[in-house]
Every structure is written in structure tokens, then in C-alpha cells.
Chain A
Amino acid sequence: MLLSVEDLTIEAGGRRPILREVSLSVGKGEVVGLVGESGSGKSTIARAVLRLLPQGAGVSGRVLVSGDDVLSMSPAALRDLRAAQVSMIYQDPRSSLNPVRRIGDFLTERMVLTLGRSKAEARTRALELLAAVGLRDPERCVRQYPHELSGGMLQRVVIAAALAADPALLLADEATSALDVTTQAETLALLRRIQAERELGMLFITHDLHLAAAYCDRVHVLYAGAVVESRPAKELFADPRHPYTAGLLACTPELGDPRPIRPIPGRPPSLDDAFAGCPFAPRCPHATGDCDAWQPRPLTVAGGSTACRLVEA
């Protein structure tokens, strides 16, 4: 396995952990989706893969990238991992580029500093990469500053930078959420093409369950820092087993559907909400009294697992 997260728990001072016993894995050439509301811990997982943990966090469990534990490796090994094996694509490309440096510098600098390539080699490679992500006129682009490019173009630059080191694993953290819908479609297609060409493993984080279901091979649904359902995307979409997944799918409005929008009642849990039993029980339409006392654990269902006691009944 390229990436395997085992029983990862991260605590940072709230009344409940940010992440509770999260396990997931990403294989070579596989796209794994991670879906959840804001605050559910999606980004924390991606950041933990690069050991960017919240200040003063208590961590247990393991995060293995190609068999090496990220959480316990030496600083030198960690830098090597960040430089060459894992790349991250962020939600907001504009703020993830240094505003005072040219695009070309952004791309070549890491190749020169962390991968030890020569300047000329890095420049040629940067031009190749920009062409590969579909930017017209890369020669012009390397001389431009971030404010001269549009959001979609910048996201392509960020993707190009992520590919600079030929990583094995891509972490796409809401990579297309800040883009408008047409640019989003182009960027998604581009990511998919690159992922397939290079057989990359990809952890695709989004709040859009429909997008994840259409885009990924497998999907993990996250609620209050715990995985509530892990299934192959198509099965999850066709037959959600956890009430939260079902609620997420049902609350998307559809054209031509005269019924009013059906949101999940209640509000997403904050770090100050502690739960004795199932964290979704207060908002769950199917909850019974026993749910408040049932400690969620993954139960096997067709194709994967879900953390709801009602599937047994």
C-alpha cells in the first residue's frame, strides 16, 4: 500500500478528538475520496500525512507512506518524504503561492533546492510541466507573477508544482472547490488524466459527495472526526448504508424535483461536543434510544464497512 493510515487519533484540546481511530488506505493508481462537512477532519488527515499537525496535538496511531511511519521518522527523512514522495494541492491556489516571486521561480526553486537539479534543467522541466498541465505559452507564464494569472491557471501551476518531483502520492485538499464550475471540470479532468498516466495514488478530499462518488474509486465518509462509511464509490452512491451518507445524498437539490430541499437537521458537531454514543444520533432520523449508548465501530457491509448499529438489525 502506498498510503495506509492506521487507527489515527489526533487530540488538540477540544472535548472530543479531531480525529478518532481513522483508518484508510490508498494504493498505487487508486483515487480514494474523503468526504465530510467542514470541521469533520478531512484536511487534518491530509496534513497528518505530511506531519503538519496542530500545535500541541496528541497523536496516536500510524501513518505509513510506502511502509515508513511518517509520524515517527527523522526530520531528514520527513523532508525527503515531503520533497519527493508526497505532493499536496491546496484549496486556494492564490494564497498558496508566494506573491512576490515569479511562477518560474516557484517551480524551479524546489527542484534546485530539494531535488538538487541544475538551474537550466529545472527550467526546462518547469516548461514541460506547465505545458503538461495545459497552460498555453509556458515561456510567458514562467515570467509572470501570481496576480497576473486567473484562479484556474494558478491551480494548474500548483498541480504542475506538485508533479515536479514525480511523487507517488497526491493529496488533493478541496483542489477544485475555489474554482468556478467550468474550470472545475477542466481541472478535475486534468488531474484524472495525470493520475492515470503516472499511476499516482490520490487522496481526493471534498465536501461534495456527488463529485466524490463520480470521481473516486473508493470513498470514505467522515463525520465528527470518525469514518462512518467506507465503500466503493458506485455502491456508496447507489445504496448508502449509513444514515449520514443517505442524508448527504438526499439533501442535494435536483432539477425538476418539485419537493423542497431536505437538509440534514441540526448542525455539524464542533470540537466542544462530546458524544457518549454515536455522534450522529442527535441528527439521525432513524436513531433509537440505544444509539446514544452504542460505541460506533466499523461493521462489515457489502463492499466495505459502515459504523451504524442499525445495519445489523
Chain B
Amino acid sequence: MIIRGDEPEQIRLLKKLYRPGNYFMQGNEAVAYGALFAGCRFYAGYPITPSSEIAETMARELPKLRGYYLQMEDEIGSIAAMIGASWTGFKVMTATAGPGFSLMQENLGYAVMTETPLVLVDVQRSGPSTGQATKGAQGDFFQARWGTHGDHPIVAVSPVSVEDAFWETVRAFNIAEKLRTPVIVLFDGVIAHTREQIRIPDPEDVEITYRRLPENEEEAKLPFGDPCGDGVPPMPLFGHGYFTHVTGSTHKENGLRDVYTPEVHDRLVRRIHRKIESHEEEIQKWEEYFTEDMDILIISWGVSARPSLGAVLRAREEGIKAGLFVPKTVHPFPGKRVRELLKGVRAVLVPEMNLGQLILEVQRYADDVPLRGVNKIGGVPLRVDEILREIRGVA
């Protein structure tokens, strides 16, 4: 496993199995390879369209890398098994789609509360309910944010291409490990099944992060405290003789349950929030196109960012000053940057494959700029001309 100490052997295996170079592959496969390069050696999942190729790739590749693949009885069990494995020191992942993501919400909250690093890939498909199971969509923006109950922070990243899927998965693992938190990859069924060129890197060129382990007895006694001062406690793993108690109930810094003292709950939940908020700048990532001089700003994410870029390029050809902002980290949303960009902009368009979700997040930062959604549902991605028409409309 790529756990501290075994890197040379793992890098040798990775190099031997996956020669660096250009490949033609599906978004789902890229996610799987990204996970393998990031050091994921445990996968528990349940088959669901359009995510199944991730499970299939992991089932095929993980045993070669001395990893573990497990097909669980349902999505609830999948995320549970991952959390168990994560507490023994593994980097863990699962992939699912909307309905499975709904089932995982209970234990996603458990992972937030117990500060368990894991990566959860949601290959968004058209809903609600079974909807158009085989078609892509972007309808889980807020399920990712508020799907589990109670106050909680969440980190979600969203790739825009097959190559991006590889690197965003690596980044998701690094954030999860660094901040001891679950991270969601908000992928979509369109890119998941799109085949594109991707460059598989040399494993030595992939920067990977490991979770902090306790350095002494004292740190190990505070698995939910803040001995390092940055809100991220070191993680005492099971079997290391620390007798760590982990519970989803409100717990003190030493892990023992205390649900009766208001201050204990306040301290715990606020620290879990602070842990993410204080690292926002490291977590956030976005792309900008033509934003230095623009009248119209397009804000789009995931698959819809691609026709949006096409539309912006066409608009520029027509002399319309359009710019594009693509958040790669969608939660926490890079609102500060959006607020800066909105100064002096006449109109904002938000193209997405839903009836308006990202636009609600943008709205929080748009004080007096008119916003307009460019929404499409039905399982077919937005086209350049559909977005261009809207741009002309506000130009």
C-alpha cells in the first residue's frame, strides 16, 4: 500500500504497470487511475450507473498494487467499510451516483464528525429518483453541500475533462489527507463516459500528501483536539496501541462521548468548521478566461464549463467582451474571487445542467449585478450555440 515507508516499492509497481504517456480513456477510468496514483489502496463500492467503470477499474487494478477491493451490499455499507479501513491507515475511495449518494449521506456525516479522510466520487446523473439513470446531469450541487444533516463543512471538487478528472481526484485525496476530512468529487455522467486523450504522468511527478500521525503519546490522546494549532488533529490509527475511541456522538478532545455539555459540542463543531475555513485558500482552485477585461461574466462548472468556454471564444470573435470563471473547488465556493470579478460586470450568466443550483451560490456574492441561469435538463449537455445565444441576449 502507499502508506509511509512503502513508497519506493509502490512507485516501482506503478511505473511498471502504467507507463507514462498519452492514453485514450474514459473519465471514469481517469478517476480510478488518479486514485491509484494518489495512493488509494482500498475501495468499497456498489454498482451504479454511470459510475460502475470506476469500481471495475479498481477491482482489476487494486490487487496488482496489493490493495483491497470490496463490493458491499449497498452504498451505506460501502462508505461504512471505507471509514473502517481509513481508521487503519488506508487511503480510501468509493464512487456512486445520485441515488447511492443519497444513501451515503448518513455515514458521510459520520465521517465529517469523526474527521475521517475519504474520497467520495459522485458521478452525477439525471434525477430526481431514478430519473434518466444513464444520462449525465449536475443536480447534486446542494446534495453534496447539505445532504447530510446538521451543521457541517464539506469540500467538493469538480473536474471539467478526462485529464482534469485524474488530477482533481489526486487533489481530492491530498485535501482529505491533509485536513482529515471527507472530500467529494462532483463528477458527471457526461465526462465520465467521454473518451479523451489523457497524459498519464510519471508517478514520481504526482505530489501526494499523507495524513498526520501522532508523534507522541500526548498527541495520540487528543485525536479530536487541536494539539498542532491548525485545527487538524493527528490521527491515531487502530491497532497502534492508543486505545482510541471514535464516535459519531459529540465527543471531547480525547474522543470520549459527552453529549450533555453545550460547550463541548460547540467547541467540536466550530473547530471542524474552522479547520476547513482556515485552509480555504489552499483548498480553493478555479480557472479564469478573459476576465481581465469583460462586460459579461459566465460562471460555470463541470461539464457545462466546456461549452461555456466555446461560447466565450465565439462571443469574443463577435466583439462581445465575455469572460469565464470555472470553480474547480465548488465547496467551499470561491466567493471572494467571484465578488472581485463582479465589480464592473454588466451581467452574469450561469450555465449548468440543472434548473439552477450553482446560481444560488453565486447570488450570495452578486449584490446588484443581474444574474441569469442557462439551464438545460434531459440528459443532453449544453451546446455552444445555446450559451452564445444567451450571451448575445445580454450583450
Partners in one complex: no
